[in-house]
Amino acid sequence: MIDFSVITATYNAERTVAACLESVQKNKLEHTEHIVVDGASPDRTVDVVKRFSNVVCISEKDNGIYDAMNKGIRNSRNEILSFLNADDYYLDGTLALVRKTFEKHPESDIVHGNILVNGKVFKPANGLASFGGARIFHPAAFIRRSLFDKLGMYDDKYRICADLDFFLRAKEAGAKFTYIDQPLTDFALDGLSTSARSKTALEVRMILLNHGYSRSFAYGYYYAMKLRTVLASLKGKRK
């Protein structure tokens, strides 16, 4: 039977983490575990988490969100790992559908799907912008523990996009990605990678270069991201 370990990294998330935890409770299957790794938040995040008696809570200083996720991996016990942000939540039926997909496609190393943002469905990129199919939505991805055993965990020198680096490593190693064409996770737009777009662009460029993409492609993608950042800023000022 496929069992899940859901890992949530938190820092000053007292306003949003309850909804996140509740969504996992609604989706919970027989042996699902939820691990919250908190970065020693000075607010009431840990107090909120402790209201949920069946959630494991680790609270200590860390080296960023991916260091926290790696701690969650090391402290988890189940075969399928997923990473749900403190301000995101799973849609009803997500874990049951993902379990069914792994059982139907046992060769799968990663099962992933779409996200919902402000009521609108977003699908993973395709074509060149998909980076060979590695550019998927991390909060809607479910990963076999054996893949972390094979490839290692998230490289926390990347502060924003270590998940992209991991998915590129997975593709290069021949991992099997299985796509579900429906939304699995409601995603909040105020996360780290969307609030620091310039830094995100720089990190994506570095990752692409480190994975052997040409300078013309990596820099072209970088400048495209920078342009989108400028256009988004101008749009915001007009409102």
Q: For residue range 129-166, list pLDDT tens digits in order.
A: 999 999 999 999 999 999 999 999 999 999 999 999 99
DSSP 138: G
In this structure, which amino acid lies at residue 213? Y
When pLDDT is averaged across residues 214-231 and rounded to a whole number, the result is: 90
Give DSSP secondary structure letters for 20-66: HHHHHHHH--TT-EEEEEE---SSSHHHHHTTSTTEEEEE---SSHH
Q: Phi, psi (5° rounding) for residue 101?
A: -70, -45
How many Cβ atoms are within 10 Å of 198's Cβ, its own excluded?
11
pLDDT band at 170 (very low <50, low <70, confident <90, very high): very high
Tally of CB atoms within 10 A around 98:
27
Residue 234 predicted with pLDDT over 70 = no
Q: From residue 4, give the alpha-carbon distance in Å to each of 14, 83, 145.
A: 24, 11, 10
**Chain segment 13-34, per-residue pLDDT in tens:** 999 999 999 999 999 999 999 9
